[in-house]
Amino acid sequence: MTLHAVPTPSVPYYHATGRECELFETAYDHGLPLLLKGPTGCGKTRFVEHMAAKLGKPIYTVACHDDLSAADLIGRYLLKGGQTEWVDGPLTRAVREGAICYLDEVVEARKDVTVVLHPLTDTRRTLMIDRTGEELVAPKGFMLVASYNPGYQNVLKRLKPSTRQRFLSMSFDFPDPEVEIKVVSHESGLEPGRVAPLVRLAGHIRALSGMDLEEGVSTRLLTYAATLMAGGMGVDQALDVAVIEPLTDEPDVQIALRDLISTIYG
């Protein structure tokens, strides 16, 4: 489990594309849980970090995975100095402190996690800790935010309607080219004129059909490529390590992507 709690002293850069910031604040004000849906690397996590900092709230971020259990979120007894001591998990800490808990790619977690989340996502706003016998009532200021990528869903990994319908929900996608150029330029330090062909390339890759790509190139990968270019790396090498190799292992697909890059960059 990857976990961090940060006091968010400064506001991370985020370029709003609609009324998502207003919706987040409204959900926070009313103690409502929020579900973010969208492809990998389109800005969901940055958005949550931005809003937490804007609201002045600490945030506990959990990167969910196949082995993540309810106990990982709630806590467990651990041996410390020869004695058994209870240690809160990130969800319990967030509830106790009235912080934001962000479960990234929540659909990857084990099924027992949703059982724990249900009482926190309705009018009860409670967290049961069976091992200690506590029932915590979430204070004002606690907010549960989760995200997942609908494109990766399958029969075995799918949020049940009974879970989805406990959340407000927002769909995210890659930004329009003009916005994506601004974002990548700001994050990487590469001038907009050099970022524009990267964004144009991303648009072509995302529009490809019939190619063995699970998903199009993310804004995050574009930022990686632009950062390398801003540091002096050549375009071909930067795109090779930041776009082509991360997207696919298939030699034929890599060749096709390199041909596309040659077309874009002449």
The topology under which CATH files domain 2-171 is Rossmann fold (3.40.50)
Structure tokens at 250: 């298939």
d(CA 51, CA 54): 5
Sign of the CA dihedral with 176 first, then 181, 182, and 185 last = positive
Q: What distance lies between CA 79 and its chain's CA centroid?
A: 33
pLDDT in tens, 173-199: 999 999 999 999 999 999 999 999 999
**In the chain, domain spans:** 2-171, 177-265
d(CA 12, CA 211): 35
Give the pLDDT score at 156: 52
At residue 259, does pLDDT exceed 50? yes
d(CA 101, CA 103): 7
At residue 237, does pLDDT exceed 70? yes
Give the pLDDT score at 251: 93
Structure tokens at 149: 């990528």
Kindly report the CA angle at 191 between 186 and 196, in degrees rounded to 5?
A: 95
pLDDT in tens, 122-154: 999 999 999 899 999 999 999 999 999 887 655
Q: Which residues pair with 144 in a beta bridge?
A: 101
Q: What is the DSSP letter of 151?
A: G
Query: Residues 90, 94, 100, 106: what is their CA dihedral angle, to the nearest 10 degrees?
Result: 40
